Chains A and B, each alone.
Chain A
Amino acid sequence: MMPKECDGPGVRMGILEPRQMTGDCFFSSGQGICSGFQFVEMSSRKLKSNNLKHSECLSQVQRILRERFCHQSLHSNLFGVQVQYKHLIELLKRTAIYGESNSVLIIGPRGSGKTMLINHALKELMEVEEVSENVLQVHLNGLLQINDNIALKEITRQLNLENVVGDKVFGSFAENLSFLLEALKKGDRTSSCPVIFILDEFDLFAHHKNQTLLYNLFDISQSAQTPVAVVGLTCRLCLSEDRSVREVLQKHFNVSKNLRSLHMLLMLALNRVTSSHPFMTAADLMEANQLCSMDSKANIVHGLSVLEICLIIAMKHLNDIYEEEPFNFQMVYNEFQKFVQRKAHSVYNFEKPVVMKAFEHLQQLELIRPMERTSVNAQREYQLMKLLLDNTQIMNALQKYPNCPTDVRQWATSSLSWL
């Protein structure tokens, strides 16, 4: 994806999109991570007799792999984003070494490697001697700095300006802002330190009031003063792709393009590695895959009592007859009574308050939802609700339900409710 260029004196606004992981990248990065295992295999053969060292080796391998899976520590290979990386590092070098102001927005779905990319670039940048002495970095995150006031204090804190004592920042918002702008405006291209601003969760900054911070930052980067690089990372614009990726992730591990799901899957498989079971087998991975692809709502339905299942079936029938119109407790109870009275199902003849308690339990589990907020005056039995399970989910859950009474199951499959 080629970056778009904006007009403007000395400013280049680039949009980098990390390419979607292709299958090869996926597997090769996975192999890269797992290469540690082969290493252990070799060394353990040599230390056959020494059991203590074997477990220590295993502990080391666990430690390394856990750091890679869980802590997302940097490894030297970048898969699939080399072009973007070259572009980014060039941009940053121009700011750091030649004093040019720049801004970059990195867009990509969640888990596509944006943070990894920028961390890598910064690491390489800091290895150049003249850069590490001069350049200042400010790391901001949209989740932490939720308004401009906090953001400004954080910037002054990280830049260690004069109004910072220890960890505390003094002064009001206006004072801090003018202080910061002064400090950044004072220098000129040749003598002042370049500053790199990294804004994670960039879209959240765009929601701040008046967008003061962003406005000022980009303003500074445009005017010919302290060289400033603003790097934004966001996943917002790729939302549609993200949703479908999420859906697929749940089911097929092969089709997914998210490296993190691979990490999670491998982590699940890694759990099974102990001193008695030192090597990961295919069975481990398959079980891990199954764990990954469980349907959580079906699990919740599995744990309901028989009365609650009957209520769900009654709601299903109501949905079928009245075409998904909202219902209330009285209607559900009525439908349930039709079942109880027919064919002498007296074992299910519970009192109305008992059935109400089961209904409220379903509401607590968020399997049914009220259409509007509960008002104090409304009677609970007449409040309109909606069922949040569809027919296929209900029938699948019923199949797996343990010791389901036959008459209940038959009632579920019958479509003739007036019998």
Chain B
Amino acid sequence: MAHLENLVLCRESQVSTLQSLFGERHHFSFPSIFIYGHTASGKTYVTQTLLKTLELPHVFVNCVECFTLRLLLEQILNKLNHLSSSEDACPTHITCETFNDFVRLFKQVTKAESLKDQTVYIVLDKAEYLRDMEANLLPGFLRLQELTDRNVTVILLSEIVWEKFRPNTGCFEPFVLYFPDYSIGNLQKILSHDHPPEYSADFYAAYINILLGVFYTVCRDLKELRHLAVLNFPKYCEPVVKGEASERDTRKLWRNVEPHLKKAMQTVYLREISSSQWEKIQKDDTDPGQLKGLSAYTHVELPYYSKFILIAAYLASYNPARTDKRFFLKHHGKIKKTNFLKKHEKTSNHLLGPKPFPLDRLLAILYSIVDSRVAATANIFSQCLRCWVSDLQRPHGAPCSAECFLSCRRTFLPTAFLELPLVCLSPVISSLYSAAPFWGSITSLVTLQLLTLVGHDDQLDGPKYKCTVSLDFIRAIARTVNFDIIKYLYDFL
């Protein structure tokens, strides 16, 4: 089938296996076929193309789309109904609630003239979601030919292996077919296939080579590679378009595009920025080094004390409690990690994750790292709006007085406001300053998920918190307040 060969590349053996499995139209085929392989290895594409080209009666259903039993069964029946009815007649919508009804209705629908004496194919894509639906669904589909006594074959497509599907009590074993991953040669062939007509095939092939050189060790997913190829091709062509290099000047072209591709790996590949943003950057020719991805911490602006609260929380999470004395007391004894300890320590706290700490410990550490002794009033936990606003003009570190705070609470903001999440407050502030959002209390830090509350709210011995920021994040924050956090971390002694 020459036509088929042009549509489907590098999958000849799988296409011929499937074709021979299907056999002739009226022949019986295996009751259920299970096709597995990596994502983007062509399972869906080959099955669909083959069934369409051979014009076999088939129904294609995606199990992510039809995530409940009813949706799945109704879609199959209605699509079959469409197939079997003539063009002008509008078939009535069939409803089906149980698998028992499905079998009964299926027998009725397949009695139609156009479906009789032919194998009907039901293709279920992303079949791993069937395991989470009703328990009788998967074994039922595997035996559908026997249960309905009709010529039907169910094809399951998935990237998970069959062993993980098999129910505990066993079931009718399907015919398992493996779609192997594409080799690097195959990938090159397929990717070079969609070269734009303005440029020669060799030019594009050289580009694909460079692309694969950067990305192949990390990603072999054909869909991702195709997307990256399309996105970055304009950058590759830039020197040629500008007239700085000819099509054959591979070295120059490589030097131009390779850092660009490396940057793409850190941004577009990780979906840190969207593809349209990436394209815009290329067009405007801005330096990609100034990109602000989704997880860029430059978006976050915390008030002065909140930064210290966060730093104190990080220290409390990652230092064992017994070492607090050494770090935070003025006259401590010398506790040094001996070489013996260094070699035989099983795992550092940075590998195990943050540990929960009580509020008192947080306060104790906080007082010790903030130089000036601050009164233990509500000021520490919330900064009033007016003081924060004027804080931007005042030098850092001066807390607001008690009277100021109380008067603000009475006049400027009703008390409820202080508990609202920051999003609601930002319109108020943006009218005064186009500035970062407002936040000041530990509750706000929890809302931002920089701290997490561990355990239940109404615990008797007080709430426990955990700091959920990464080391890089807290180092950046500590840098802005001139605090050397590494000196205070036990794991870096």
Task: Please report A residues at the B interface, Cβ cutoff 8 Å.
Answer: 59, 62-63, 66-67, 69-72, 109-110, 115, 141-146, 150, 154, 167, 203-204, 235-236, 239, 242, 246, 260-261, 264, 267-268, 271-272, 274, 294, 296-297, 299-300, 302-307, 328, 330-331, 334, 347-348, 350-351, 353-354, 357-358, 364-366, 377, 379, 381-382, 402-403
Shortest Cβ gap from A323 to chain B (Å): 12
Tell which of B30, B147, B184, B452 touches A403, judged by Cβ atoms closer than 8 Å: B184
Contact A382 B100 (CB under 8 A): no
Contact B136 A354 (CB under 8 A): no
Please name 7 pairs of A and B residues whose Cβ atoms are closer than 8 Å in the assembled complex, sorted by A: A144-B99, A274-B20, A303-B220, A305-B220, A351-B265, A357-B269, A364-B159
B259 interface hit (Cβ, 8 Å): no
Size class of B's contact patch?
Answer: 35 or more
Contact A143 B99 (CB under 8 A): yes
Mask, B166-181, CB within 8 Å of A = 1, is: 0001111101101011
Please give, as numbers and ranges, the residues of chain A lying within 8 Å of B145 by CB-CB distance: 70-71
Tell which of B23, B162, B468 touches A379, judged by Cβ atoms closer than 8 Å: B468
B449 interface hit (Cβ, 8 Å): yes
B250 interface hit (Cβ, 8 Å): no
B441 interface hit (Cβ, 8 Å): no
Contact A110 B170 (CB under 8 A): yes
Contact A66 B23 (CB under 8 A): yes
B55 interface hit (Cβ, 8 Å): no
Shortest Cβ gap from A245 to chain B (Å): 9
Mask, B1-38, CB within 8 Å of A = 1, is: 00000000000000001001101101111110000111
Contact A307 B98 (CB under 8 A): no
Whether A235 contacts B28 in the complex (CB less than 8 A), given A267-B175, A353-B270, A354-B269, comes out as: no
Residue of B21, B104, B162, B217 contacting most chain A CB atoms (<10 Å): B217
Residue of A260, A300, A302, A347 contacting most chain B CB atoms (<10 Å): A300
Contact A66 B28 (CB under 8 A): yes
Task: Please report B residues at the A interface, Cβ cutoff 8 Å.
Answer: 17, 20-21, 23-24, 26-31, 36-38, 41, 98-100, 103-104, 134, 136, 139-140, 143, 145-147, 151, 159-164, 169-173, 175-176, 178, 180-181, 183-184, 216-220, 265-266, 269-270, 272, 295, 347, 350-354, 449, 452, 468, 470
Contact B266 A351 (CB under 8 A): yes
Tell which of A239, A294, A305, A354 touches B216, judged by Cβ atoms closer than 8 Å: A305
Listed from nearest, the 9 A-B pairs whose CB atoms lie closest are A303-B181, A382-B353, A296-B161, A271-B20, A306-B217, A303-B38, A144-B100, A66-B28, A70-B28
Contact A354 B218 (CB under 8 A): yes
Task: Please report the C-alpha to C-alpha distance between residue A381 and residue B471 in the assembled complex, in whole angstroms.
Answer: 12
Chain A residue, CB-CB nearest to B98: A150
Chain B residue, CB-CB nearest to A250: B163
Please give, as numbers and ranges, the residues of chain B lying within 8 Å of A63 by CB-CB distance: 24, 26-28
Contact A357 B28 (CB under 8 A): no
Task: Please report the C-alpha to C-alpha distance between residue A350 and residue B180 in the assembled complex, in whole angstroms.
Answer: 27
Task: Please report the C-alpha to C-alpha distance between residue A381 and residue B172 in the assembled complex, in whole angstroms.
Answer: 40
Whether A62 contacts B100 in the complex (CB less than 8 A), given A143-B136, A296-B36, comes out as: no
Contact B218 A307 (CB under 8 A): yes
Contact A72 B146 (CB under 8 A): yes
Contact A357 B38 (CB under 8 A): no
Chain B residue, CB-CB nearest to A358: B218
The interface residues of chain B, by DSSP majority, are classed as loop
Shortest Cβ gap from A142 to chain B (Å): 8
13 other contacts beyond A150-B100, A154-B100, A348-B217, with CB at 8 A cut-off? A71-B145, A110-B170, A235-B170, A267-B30, A305-B217, A330-B351, A330-B353, A334-B351, A354-B265, A354-B270, A379-B353, A379-B468, A381-B353
Contact B100 A307 (CB under 8 A): no
Task: Please report the C-alpha to C-alpha distance between residue A347 and residue B24 in the assembled complex, in whole angstroms.
Answer: 52
Contact A145 B37 (CB under 8 A): no
Task: Please report the C-alpha to C-alpha distance between residue A347 and residue B37 in the assembled complex, in whole angstroms.
Answer: 28
The interface residues of chain A, by DSSP majority, are classed as helix
Shortest Cβ gap from A236 to chain B (Å): 6
Tell which of B31, B265, B266, B270 touches A70, judged by Cβ atoms closer than 8 Å: B31
Tell which of B37, B104, B140, B468 touches A377, judged by Cβ atoms closer than 8 Å: B468
Task: Please report the C-alpha to C-alpha distance between residue A377 and residue B454 in the assembled complex, in whole angstroms.
Answer: 9
Shortest Cβ gap from B20 to chain A (Å): 4
Chain A residue, CB-CB nearest to B173: A260
Chain B residue, CB-CB nearest to A294: B178
Please give, as numbers and ranges, the residues of chain B lying within 8 Å of A167 by CB-CB distance: 104
Shortest Cβ gap from A48 to chain B (Å): 24
Contact A236 B449 (CB under 8 A): no
Contact B218 A331 (CB under 8 A): no
Contact A141 B184 (CB under 8 A): no
Task: Please report the C-alpha to C-alpha distance between residue A203 and residue B37 in the assembled complex, in whole angstroms.
Answer: 34
Please give, as numbers and ranges, the residues of chain A lying within 8 Å of B350 by CB-CB distance: 330
Please give, as numbers and ranges, the residues of chain A lying within 8 Å of B38 by CB-CB distance: 300, 303, 365
Contact B169 A357 (CB under 8 A): no
Task: Please report the C-alpha to C-alpha distance between residue A70 and residue B143 in the assembled complex, in whole angstroms.
Answer: 11
Please give, as numbers and ranges, the residues of chain B lying within 8 Å of A109 by CB-CB distance: 170
Task: Please report the C-alpha to C-alpha distance between residue A71 and residue B28 in the assembled complex, in whole angstroms.
Answer: 7
Please give, as numbers and ranges, the residues of chain A lying within 8 Å of B140 by CB-CB distance: 143-144
Whether A377 contacts B270 in the complex (CB less than 8 A), given A70-B31, A143-B147, A366-B164, comes out as: no
Residue of A260, A272, A379 contacting most chain B CB atoms (<10 Å): A379
Task: Please report the C-alpha to C-alpha distance between residue A304 and residue B217 in the assembled complex, in whole angstroms.
Answer: 9
Please give, as numbers and ranges, the residues of chain A lying within 8 Å of B468 by CB-CB distance: 377, 379
Shortest Cβ gap from B229 to chain A (Å): 17
Task: Please report the C-alpha to C-alpha distance between residue A353 and residue B349 in the assembled complex, in whole angstroms.
Answer: 21
Contact A264 B218 (CB under 8 A): no
Contact A62 B136 (CB under 8 A): no
Contact A297 B173 (CB under 8 A): no
Task: Please report the C-alpha to C-alpha distance between residue A142 and residue B27 in the assembled complex, in whole angstroms.
Answer: 29
Contact B218 A402 (CB under 8 A): no
Please give, as numbers and ranges, the residues of chain B lying within 8 Å of A364 by CB-CB distance: 159
Shortest Cβ gap from B178 to chain A (Å): 5
Please give, as numbers and ranges, the residues of chain B lying within 8 Å of A334 by CB-CB distance: 351
Please give, as numbers and ranges, the residues of chain A lying within 8 Å of B351 by CB-CB distance: 328, 330-331, 334
Tell which of A154, A235, A261 touches B169, judged by Cβ atoms closer than 8 Å: A235
Whether A236 contacts B176 in the complex (CB less than 8 A), given A59-B24, A72-B146, A305-B219, comes out as: no
Whether A305 contacts B103 in the complex (CB less than 8 A), given A70-B28, A72-B146, A296-B178, comes out as: no
Tell which of A59, A303, A330 touches B180, judged by Cβ atoms closer than 8 Å: A303
Contact B27 A62 (CB under 8 A): yes
Task: Please report the C-alpha to C-alpha distance between residue A296 and residue B352 in the assembled complex, in whole angstroms.
Answer: 33
Tell which of B20, B136, B164, B183 touches A204, judged by Cβ atoms closer than 8 Å: B136
Task: Please report the C-alpha to C-alpha distance between residue A142 and residue B31 in the assembled complex, in whole angstroms.
Answer: 19
Shortest Cβ gap from A81 to chain B (Å): 19
Contact B23 A62 (CB under 8 A): yes
Please give, as numbers and ranges, the residues of chain A lying within 8 Å of B159 by CB-CB distance: 300, 364-365
Task: Please report the C-alpha to C-alpha distance between residue A377 and residue B98 in the assembled complex, in whole angstroms.
Answer: 38
Please give, as numbers and ranges, the residues of chain A lying within 8 Å of B353 by CB-CB distance: 328, 330, 379, 381-382
Shortest Cβ gap from B357 to chain A (Å): 15
Task: Please report the C-alpha to C-alpha distance between residue A334 and residue B36 in the assembled complex, in whole angstroms.
Answer: 33
Contact A271 B147 (CB under 8 A): no
Task: Please report the C-alpha to C-alpha distance between residue A261 and residue B170 in the assembled complex, in whole angstroms.
Answer: 14
Task: Please report the C-alpha to C-alpha distance between residue A271 and residue B159 in the assembled complex, in whole angstroms.
Answer: 24
Residue of A70, A150, A402 contacting most chain B CB atoms (<10 Å): A70
Whether A297 contacts B27 in the complex (CB less than 8 A), given A264-B173, A267-B175, A331-B347, comes out as: no
Contact A357 B160 (CB under 8 A): no
Please give, as numbers and ranges, the residues of chain B lying within 8 Å of A264 by CB-CB distance: 30, 173, 175
Contact B29 A70 (CB under 8 A): yes
Task: Please report the C-alpha to C-alpha distance between residue A304 and residue B175 in the assembled complex, in whole angstroms.
Answer: 24
Contact B220 A304 (CB under 8 A): yes
Contact A377 B218 (CB under 8 A): no
